[in-house]
Amino acid sequence: MAEPSNRVPGRYGQTEIAANQLEPWPNPHPNRLYVVHFEIPEFTCLCPRSGFPDFATIVIDYVPGPSVVELKSLKLYINGYRDRAISHEGATNTILDDLIAMIQPRWMRVVGEFNVRGNIKTTVTAEHQEEGYAGPRPTYQRPTFSGI
């Protein structure tokens, strides 16, 4: 079977990343307060000053509102940062803003745990909560993903 003409042979992932849109799914339990936790250990972006790659683990915790995020769309969205020149602060806050706009969580925290670069370890934390929210806000714990 021939590949579509808009794809580079063997590089369908690049096409999927470029075409991706974050996708909300209906919250299966909208009346319950529960926490969703993601650890994304292979985040990369480019330093806007030097062009060198920055590596991080992105940790997302949220209490869903009307929607949850579809996981494949989140994966492709995160992969879209790979060639993007953006600061640590910009990346963390943009991820939070984009997710808030899409799924309208009751509460959300995005943490960028950036690898050491130039002898400096950077951690950026950005939070959002809807007005009057008094539900769960778990204490932040450093990433635990071990590759298993």
Active site residues: 47, 54
Q: Is residue 93 within 8 Å of residue 100, measured between CB atoms?
A: no
Report the chain's terminal Cα–Cα distance, integer Å. 35
Beta carbons within 10 angstroms of residue 78's beta carbon: 22
With b meaning 16 or more CB within 10 Å and e meaning fewer, what string describes 106-127? Answer: bbbbbbbbbeeeeeeebebebe
Q: Report the distance separating Cα 41 and Cα 145, nearest Å.
A: 7
Residue 139 DSSP symbol: P
